[in-house]
Amino acid sequence: MSSSRAAASMEGKLVSNFWSGKTVVVTGAAQGQGAEEVCTLVEPGAHVIALDIHDAQSESWSAVRSRCADDAARLTIRRLDVSDEDAWAALVTELGASGIAVHGLINNAGITLRKTVTETSAAEWRHVMSINLDGAFLGTHFVSRVMSRNGAIVNVASVTGLTAYFGAAYSASKWGLRGLTRAAALELANRHIRVNCICPGMVETPMMLNANAQHDERRARLFQEGNRQATPLSRGAHPGEIAKVAVFLLGPDASFITAADVPVDGGMTGGGIFWRIGKMTENL
């Protein structure tokens, strides 16, 4: 074997073993995209601290427990309200006392609200912000204290943080998350901690598929179909397709990527308006 091939083979083995012994914190981890991120990390050897508003014994965790059954020793499930500063402080104190150095954090927890500016109440605005933006701020603020050198943080924003969207609070929270990402990336660079943001388009998760309380089933279907029509690949993503990008950004192959917004949207934002105009006229 040539020296170059031998080096490449060794590098591949190092990357494949990268997650063994690494600890990653994931929020919003009980279901949907967060659950997929947990399982994608546990499988190659990471220890995942999975956080969610649902109690650890809740049925909401059943799919995660089932998928990670063979690696249950590397899965820690814990109830945590991401908007609760004291809960974050307690978690980090516990991690520090145990000597656990965290490699990664995925700020995935989020809620949606499909209401315009004038439809949204002040209480609804604050509630969305408390989870989508405050939660990521608190997670970054506290977990970075016990994060190892060369660690990484991934914030899960949305295409609604890249363009106009009628859902005022949700959109504003995701635009804000991009700003938080860049501010944290600048501050933590001297510790070689990278901070990036992924911006998914439509993802086939319960949050997308379940209509909000103020929307009937027909409107929900129209919303989903509108998203598909606005996506050049003409479909929503499977949660695993988003999870793999998040894990990539936490890992060694993304070692020179920080302060970046990464659309994972089937071409929705990159295609802009003109691909739809072309599609409308292609058969004329």
Q: Which domains, and CATH codes, for the chain? A: 19-278 (3.40.50.720)
pTM of the complete model:
0.87
Looking only at the bridges linking them, the beta strands covering 194-200 and 147-156 are parallel
Torsion of CA 214, 64, 156, 82, to 10 degrees: 80
Closest CA to 130 of 111, 117, 147: 111
- Catalytic (active site) residue 170: yes
Find the catalytic residue in 120, 170, 231, 268: 170
**At 186, which amino acid appears?**
L
What's residue 5's pLDDT? 53
Distances 82 to 9, 10, 18, 164 between C-alpha atoms, Å:
41, 40, 28, 26
Residue pair 51/29 in contact (Cβ under 8 Å)? The answer is yes
Q: Which residues have CB under 8 Å from 245's CB, separation 6+?
A: 198, 262, 264
Q: What whole-number distance in Å separates Cα of residue 58 and Cα of residue 50? A: 13
- Side-chain-facing half-sphere of 249: CA atoms under 13 Å: 27
Q: Which residues have CB under 8 Å from 109's CB, separation 6+?
A: 27, 28, 34, 51, 52, 53, 82, 131, 132, 135, 136
Closest CA to 175 of 61, 71, 261: 261
Phi and psi of 139, rounded to 5°? -60, -45
Residue pair 193/141 in contact (Cβ under 8 Å)? The answer is no
What's residue 234's pLDDT? 67
Give the number of other CB atoms < 10 A from CB of residue 126.
12
**At 209, which amino acid appears?**
L
Residue pair 24/76 in contact (Cβ under 8 Å)? The answer is no
Distances 208 to 64, 114, 131, 238, 258 between C-alpha atoms, Å:
19, 11, 17, 12, 28
Sheet of 147-156: strands edge to edge?
Answer: 75-79, 47-52, 23-26, 102-107, 147-156, 194-200, 261-264
Q: What is the pLDDT along the chain (284 residues), one digit of tens a residue?
A: 455 555 444 444 455 699 999 999 999 999 999 999 999 999 999 999 999 999 999 999 999 999 999 999 999 999 999 999 999 999 999 999 999 999 999 999 999 998 999 999 999 999 999 999 999 999 999 999 999 999 999 999 999 999 989 999 999 999 999 999 999 999 999 999 999 999 998 877 665 555 444 456 677 677 777 777 777 776 776 889 999 999 999 999 999 999 999 998 776 887 877 777 777 777 66
Query: Which residues are bridge partners to 197 per DSSP?
Result: 155, 261
> For residue 281, what are its two tokens?
């006229």
What's residue 212's pLDDT? 47
